[in-house]
Structure formats: C-alpha cells, structure tokens
Amino acid sequence: MTIKLASTDRIDNDIREENGTQENRLTVKQKVLSYNPLTTCQPHTLHYAMKGVGYLPTPLLESLVGYLKGPSSKQYLHADAHLRLILAVNSKLVHWEDKVIANADDGDMTIRCYQSDASSHGLGFKKADTHNSDETVLLYFHGGGFCIGDVNTHHEFCHAVCEQTGWPIVSVDYRLAPEHPAPAALKDCITAYAWLAEHCHTLGALPSRIVLAGDSAGGGLSTLIAQQLSAPSQVAWSDLGSAGQKMFDLLERLPKPLAQMPLYPVTDIETDYPSWELYGEGLLLDHADVAVFDAACLDNSPLPRQHILNCPMLGDNSKVCPTYIVAAELDVLRDEAFAYAKQLKVHGIAVKTHTILGAPHGFIHFMSIHQGIGQKTGDIIKGFASFVRDVINTQSQLAA
C-alpha cells in the first residue's frame, strides 16, 4: 500500500521558518499525517496481505496453516487452505483497549487490557469464548525508574506476551514520581490488582491465577506486591497512617498471585554489588540515571529510604509465589536480581533464573529491531508460560 504525502512532506535537509522557529521537514511530516497507523494502516495492510497469499500454491498455504497451528482440513471439511489460513491468522490477533479505573487515592488511572480472543474486539470484556485455556491473566507494571514510562512505552512487549501465551494482559499506568513519590506507584498497582481480582472472570481467568510481571522499576513493583500479598506487613503499612491501614486491610482480602516474572528488577536500595562497578557507566542505565530516579522517587516520600515498602529485600519473602527472574548480563542491576533469587531459594520458594547474555538493561525495547534480542525475548515469554503451567499442574496434583 502506497501513501502519497503532501509536497510539504518531502524528506530532505531543507530548513524553513515556521511560526518564528526553524524546523526540519522531518518534523513536518509528523504534523501532516493525522491518522493513527495502529488503527488505519495495519488493518488495510493485513487485508491486502491476506488477499495476496490466496494466490500461493495450496501446499504452501497448508504449511502456513500448520505453522500457525490453524484448523486442519479434517476439522473443517469444506474450508480450503486459504480460508483456514485466514482463520488461523485471526486467532493470533491481539485486541486491546484502555479503561479508566480508580487509583489508590480515588483519582483516575488508565489500564490497558489485551485479549487474543477476536470476539472481544470493540465489544468490551466478555466471558464468552476465549482462547485462555490456562484461565490465567497477567498484570504488568512498566519500567522507567518510577518516573517515566506508561502503557504506550511497553505496548509492544505486552502485545507479544498476549499473542504468544494466549493470556489476557492488563498493563497499569500507575502514578509517577516526582509528582507522586513512593509509595504511590505501589499503592496504585495493588489497587489495580484488586480491580483485576474482581473482574478477571470477564477475561476468562480465575482470581487464583493472576500472575505478575514487570521490568526494571516495574519488576521491583512486582516483587513488592508479591511479597505484600503473601505476607502483608501491618507494621510497615501503619507508617502511612489511616491510608496505610486501608491498604493493609485490602491486601488481607485479596487472593495470592500464582507466579511472577520480574525482568531485570530493582530489588535493593543498596548498591554494593559487583555489577554496579562493572556496568555502571556507558550503558543504557548508569549510576547517574539511578541517582536521579532514586531522588525523584524517594526524597519526598513519607517513608524512610530503608523501608520495607521501598525495598523488597528488607521484607518477608518466605511465602512469595513461584518466581521466574530475568536478568540482563550487561546491567547495573544484574546482581541484585541474583541476590533476590538467592533469598527466595533460601526460603524454599520455587525459583528459576534466566540471564540474557550480552543484553543491556531495558533490552525488551529492542525486540523488534534486533533479531537476537527478539528471539531471546520470545524465549523468555515461552519459558515463563511453561513455568506458570508447571505451577498450575503442580497445584492441581496436590489438590487431587
């Protein structure tokens, strides 16, 4: 499909005066194009692509159907290979929508909900036919040092997890520092968990099968929430007064998560790990970045820096859910991920650690532009799905 741009959209190095400022025409292009490519280009591109593949030889079409695990000719006797390929592709599509729920302080908070069930598109959430055979839902907390990031910055990863696992995904747009210092993000994410526990049936999931995941700061939130849902600390929450008591009461009523996947998480306030010396300069996250994020998040917090609700390593992790930890080799935070894993193992928690060699902090953002990272990210998703299904099978055997 060809999109013809206006003459003012030529991509060159010309500079012009506009509204008293100099502007490169590369930026003009972004102003002229008013459509949303997610809602305009992709559906039309897919339409023409699916029309075009119909001219491929039938054996090749059958191979594509098999690759996508689509319906066989035995399942649909009168559907040709092209139609079954269309059905297979449709079953892989992920549909998403944003919803607004209340945050921990009764303000507005956006969550983005993903489903692979085609019948959910544009219709809100329904319990009707879904592909969620695991009856599992994943709650995701984005990274960004508690200061940046949102559901958009982590859209690609959440989309991929939904597509590859078949699970619905709920991504949380929690409040950010410095406007909202710790523990605002933690409280918002617990509130989102409570919302999901109440509404997960609309996504074809069970309250007992909520899994947590997050990267970087979001990975830290995952570890804190897993801890506080398994062993809520009334003493810690009492430091926040009546609001803290309210959160503690909520935590005691909520179901425990099934499992968690923190990716290169923030787990400790201390910085005396070897990886801090090895990878603290010249990479995507360095000492200066961490200092800025910490100051924004903690300097105006009502809690002291060394507090259970700021640092998961300080709390009771003896009852935390099974954990699949992902670390990046070239990451200043690498060793605190290992330290967290070691602490869980000491308590007898089921733990699996997956280290991505040669990868820096934040590598999931490279999944579509670096082939190797894309493959490794896919392996992570596949590995966590297998880990969760093993947890489900183990629980089922124990209950039998």
Q: Which residues are catalytic?
A: 216, 331, 361
Give buried/exposed letters for 137-167 (b at 16+ CB in 10 A, else e). Answer: bbbbbbbbbbbebbbeebbebbbbbbbbbbb
Please say whether the beta carbons of 89 and 50 come within 8 A.
Answer: yes
- Measure the CA–CA gap between 187 and 246, rounded to whole angstroms: 10
3-state secondary structure labels for all residues of 69-104: CCCCCCCCCCCCHHHHHHHHHHHHCCEEEEEEEECC
Side-chain half-sphere exposure of 386, counting CA atoms within 13 A: 7
Nearest residue to 308 (alpha-carbon basis) of 362, 370, 373, 231: 231
200: left (phi > 0), else alpha (psi -120 to 50), else beta? alpha
- Measure the CA–CA gap between 110 and 142, rounded to whole angstroms: 13
- Measure the CA–CA gap between 19 and 27, rounded to whole angstroms: 14
- Measure the CA–CA gap between 337 and 265, rounded to whole angstroms: 6
Nearest residue to 169 (alpha-carbon basis) of 220, 125, 232: 125
Q: Which residue has the tokens 């100051």?
A: 295
- Measure the CA–CA gap between 31 and 394, rounded to whole angstroms: 54
Number of neighbours of residue 355 by Cβ within 10 angstroms: 15
Q: Which distant-in-sequence residues (6+ apart) come within 8 Å of 277 by Cβ?
A: none
The DSSP 8-state label assigned to residue 68 in this structure reads T
Strand partners, 262: 214
For every residue of 279-342, DSSP letters joined together read SSSSSSS-HHHHHHHHHHHHTT-SS-SS-TTT-GGGS--TTPPPEEEEEEEE-TTHHHHHHHHH
